[in-house]
Amino acid sequence: MRTLYVVTHPEAKHHLDGLVGGWHDSELTDKGHLDAERIACGLRSRIPMSSEAALYGSDLTRTTQTSDAIGGKFGLTATLLPGLREKSHGSAEGRR
């Protein structure tokens, strides 16, 4: 049996700017980077090292920054998949 851990990215700049996210690309805030590191440490304390472990994420900057923090604790590089992006909000993305 395999266990799947699903992690969402922490605070990103579009949150603070009051912008619609979706496929709008934004970076993590300083707090978001700290939280990503905390998430990574929490996962590392719960998950044993395994040659079967894999890491996947969307190709948006805020999620790659989150997966980089997690991957750093496990010696993994995320496979980036556009299909893992959150819901698109069309023309509203990046707007207030």
What is the residue-level pLDDT of the chain in tens, covering all 96 positions?
Answer: 788 999 999 999 999 999 999 999 999 999 999 999 999 999 999 998 887 899 999 999 999 999 999 999 999 999 999 999 999 999 999 999
Q: How far apart are CA 16 and CA 48, in angstroms?
A: 35
pTM of the model: 0.93
Q: Which of 66, 56, 13 is nearest to 36 (CA)?
A: 66
